[in-house]
Amino acid sequence: MAAILGYGVFATVEYERLGGLVGALDLGIFYEAVCGWAFHADPYVAIKGSSQLGDHFTPAWVLLAPLLRIRDSPYMLVLAQFVLLPLSGIPVYVAVRRMVGRWPATGVTAAYLASSGLQHAIAFPVHEVMFATPLIAWALERILAGRWTWATVLMCSLCLVKEDLNLMTAAFAVVALCHRRWRRAAFLAVWGLAAYLITVKLVIPEFCPAGYTYLDQYASTLQATNSVQDLMHIVEHPLRVLHLLYDNQTKRALWHLLIVPVLGLCFASPLLLLAAPNLLSRLLSSDPNVWTSHYHYDAPLMPIIFIAAVDGLMRICRCVGFLIDERAVLAGQGQACPPVRRRRLRLLVSADHLPIHGQVADRRMDQEACRVRGERELEQTGRGSRAGRAERRDRRGDQPPGRSTPGTRHRDADL
């Protein structure tokens, strides 16, 4: 609630002194689109001279049409944005609390709400990230809760927010593979790629005769004019693609702003794969406006980076703890410790040990850790019990079992 109030005041002030040409233009475009949905059932945008669906496929704007029925003002769109974006902190808090507890989750959520991605998105008057960010955050929370059906539905619904978010749905299939969810991974991959191609090749050209013109941004960087050529160039020239990701000071500043606040812990989690389509599409573009963090482009990345950072920290801690227990047992048994590189890599990449309802899903690793601790406790208990029996015998002057004094033997013979 505090974040909504704070961002509400900030967004209202920015709206009143709206001087950024790009922000004012986008606000006008989206306002006309929502007006079309509200009053004419057609999101026609006079500024562009075509339907809004011919620019970006975002039928989700129809959800804001009732607001304009209440009050026909662009400020209603600004109101919706500074309410929806802070509400994405709820799934972040729930997901992090399940992993690390209440108070650490409160701190992480506060850092998330104060992140640069949300601040710049609120400062930018209106954009469709207001729909994408909560959906992504809830999808990640459902993954960590083990509710894969809901997570799949939420990720597939991104096709109604923007056409390029379908690639994030396809990347979600890779995360499903890390969880060994084979059927869902196949479904998500097919859904994401099919929805992207249908939207770009069929739906958008139907509303805009010029077609999907945003692919022209990759003509100079990837020497490609369509999605297939883009993909082929990435596969055939990986080193050049890696160079394009940080060949500019603005790009390096973006990496620094995204990674440093979470200390790079997000790289230890496969959830970070969801951010790959967004970063690749921006950093490989020839448009310098999408490289910067001063606009709204970072907002969908924020829940991914923060939740992945906490998940990566938990993976590292569990991996280190498990390996320490295993090596301690082997050392106590006098055995040589085997190489652990492959096991460490499996524990970091595999997502089976994600917490579910406060417990750990990887029962095999839990059982192994319990076995290790049990053996150590049993060994310590055995040593303690033997030492205690010996001390009690010394106090009574008794002999250890199986031994007897000569006098005892004579008494036994008389009996």
pLDDT at 194: 93
Distance from the Cα of residue 387 to its chain's centroid: 53
Within 10 angstroms of residue 5's Cβ, the number of other Cβ atoms is 11
The whole-angstrom separation of Cα 38 and Cα 68 is: 7
pLDDT band of residue 409 (cuts 50, 70, 90) is very low
The arithmetic mean of pLDDT across residues 325-345, rounded, is: 50
Report helix, strand or coil for 208: coil
Q: Which residue has the higher pLDDT, 54 or 393?
A: 54
- Angle between helix axes 89-100 and 301-332 (nearest 10 degrees) is 10
Q: Is the pLDDT reported for residue 357 higher than 50?
A: no
Q: Do the Cβ atoms of 221 and 229 come closer than 8 Å?
A: no
Pairing relationship of beta strands 50-51 and 44-45 according to DSSP bridges: antiparallel
Residue 126 has what pLDDT?
85
Helix (H, G, I), strand (E, B) or coil at 257: helix
pLDDT band at residue 185 using 50, 70 and 90 as cut-offs: very high
CA distance 321 to 315: 10
Q: Integer distance in angstroms from the first to the last C-alpha of the chain?
A: 88
pLDDT score, position 294: 82
Alpha-helix runs per DSSP H in 237-275: 238-244, 249-259
Per-residue pLDDT at 358: 39
φ, ψ dihedrals at 77, nearest 5°: -70, -40
Residue 385's pLDDT band (boundaries 50, 70, 90)? Answer: low
- Lowest mean pLDDT of 130-144, 271-285, 371-385, name the range: 371-385
> Is the confidence at residue 348, as pLDDT, over 60?
no
Q: Where is average pLDDT lowest: 23-27, 180-184, 205-209, 303-307?
A: 23-27
- Count of beta carbons in the 10 Å neighbourhood of residue 14: 18
Each residue's pLDDT tens digit, 244-295: 888 888 899 999 999 999 998 999 999 999 999 999 888 988 888 888 888 8
Which one has a higher pLDDT value, 120 or 348?
120
CA distance 4 to 126: 15
Given a contact cutoff of 8 angstroms between Cβ atoms, the answer to whether 27 and 35 are in contact is no
Residue 1 confidence (pLDDT) above 80: no
Q: With cut-offs at 50, 70 and 90, classify the pLDDT of residue 92.
A: very high
Name the residue type at position 257. Answer: L
pLDDT score of 22:
52
The whole-number average pLDDT for the span 322-329 is: 54
Predicted confidence band at 308 (pLDDT cuts at 50, 70, 90)? very high
Q: Following DSSP, what letter does each residue of 337-404 receive, concatenated?
A: PPP-HHHHHHHHH--TT-EETTEES-HHHHHHHHHHHHHHHHHHHHHHHHHHHHHHHHHHTPPPTT--
Mean per-residue pLDDT of the chain: 79
Whether 230 has a pLDDT exceeding 60, the answer reads yes
- pLDDT of residue 91 exceeding 90, the answer is yes
